[in-house]
Structure 1
Amino acid sequence: MMGMIYIIFLMFMIGNLIFVSKRKHLLIMLMSLEFIVLSIYFLMMLYLMMINNNMYMLMVFLVLTVCEGALGLSILVSMVRTYGNDYFQSFNLI
């Protein structure tokens, strides 16, 4: 059981490391955010199985995750149509 928690924590930390180191591309940042959310989902699933609780909260979490992913992809598509790429440095925020 503790081995699984260490693996999930390692997944979370790797996702954060990728998020911080690849901050120039929006697509890579979105993929690392989904990886972080996946590790949180595994942690919640493990915790809810450990306390013998129902899994309805996981369904709510997955719905919110899908909404977050759809919003991120729509921002990415809008950026690519407007600026031609997903670099953050290619457009001016002012």
Structure 2
Amino acid sequence: MRTIQVSEMIDVQKFNRFHLQILLCCIFIIICDGYDMFILGTILSSLRAEWRITTVEAGLFSSYALFGMMMERWSLDRWRINSAERKSF
């Protein structure tokens, strides 16, 4: 049986087109994931004036949006793990 040293294999690999595609895909996902919070931060001052809310209420609004995103990620992760466990049996 052949033994492979993973760390050595990684060290000798050259950065090629496949690695670039993976890197660009990850960057795109990160940008899309944070876009909604970026837009919220950009328009928050206009929303405060239009909706007549205080700074504290605007901060809570942003916090609730971030918390909602966190709960969505957590619930989707739980769903993914549970569905994978059901398929394995």
Q: TM exceeds 0.5?
A: no
Instruction: State TM-score, norm by structure 1.
Output: 0.41
Instruction: State TM-score, norm by structure 2.
Output: 0.42
The answer to which structure has the higher helix fraction is 2
Larger Rg: 2
Question: Taking CA–CA contacts closer than 8 Å with sequence separation of 6 or more, which of the two structures ends up with the larger relative contact order?
Answer: 1
